[in-house]
Amino acid sequence: MDFSGKRVVVTGGTGALGGAVVGPLLSAGATCTVPYVHDGEMERFVHRDNGKLKLVKVSDLASEADVAKVYDGAPLWGSIHIAGGYADGKVTDTDKAALMAQIDGNLVSCFLCCRAAVLTMRGGGRIVNVAARPALEPRAGAGMTAYTIAKSGVATLTIALAEEVAKDGILVNAVAPSIMDTTANRKAMPKADFDKWPKVEEVAATILFLVSPENKVTRGAIVPVYGKA
């Protein structure tokens, strides 16, 4: 895939999945804009010294002002929205603040970034959101209802927006990962069968195709990326 001359925003780009997306994009010729919140994220980011990478410090991607800093008006080809957060908890243990934290961190941030991307794209482009398996299988969201609601909203946003902007040459899709094989997930679930989990590089490969110029027809898809799980 050739991304020469194309600018791509990757939220959550300093994380495990984000790094697996940003690296191939830079190698394929893209210039990448990656927002980050904590200085430690930036300092540990393996690609931080790449001349085609722009790191932008933000406080909250659910803030329109912070999103505007990332999407600064420069022509944009692709926008990949990985940033978000997970929290489990039964409904009886989830108050309004916890619910809104999931909605803001996952859905509102994705909506605002989608909006900014559409406003910045010239003559077409690609948007890829990251939903989650419970968005496609809500019964699997028992015990993490707030997260499931937020990620289901991301899936619905993806489908509706894809219809809205197809006429402008913008193709919008999402991936829905199961639990991915990351250091943090292994630590949190040490007894799990890690071999069944999709690797971040495998999930990244699907994202990279969907955001690429080679994707000419796929839109409004929520692609399951479950591996063997």
pLDDT digits (tens, 9 = 90+) for 38-92: 999 999 999 999 999 999 999 999 999 999 999 998 899 999 999 999 999 999 9
pTM: 0.96
| pLDDT surpasses 90 at 212 | yes
| pLDDT surpasses 90 at 26 | yes
The catalytically annotated residue of 36, 86, 147, 226 is: 147
Helix ranges (H only) for the chain are: 16-27, 39-44, 64-70, 96-102, 109-120, 133-136, 145-165, 183-188, 200-211
Residue (of 36, 24, 131, 39) closest to 78 by Cα position: 24
Instruction: Give residue-wise pLDDT tens across range 150-202.
Output: 999 999 999 999 999 999 999 999 999 999 999 899 999 999 999 999 999 99
d(CA 146, CA 204) in angstroms, rounded, equals 25
pLDDT over 70, % of the chain: 100
Q: Domains (ranges, CATH) in the chain? A: 7-225 (3.40.50.720)
Any idea of the CA torsion for 9, 152, 164, 116, to the nearest 10 degrees? -30
- pLDDT of res. 13: 97
The mean pLDDT value of the chain amounts to: 96
147 is catalytic: yes
| pLDDT surpasses 90 at 10 | yes
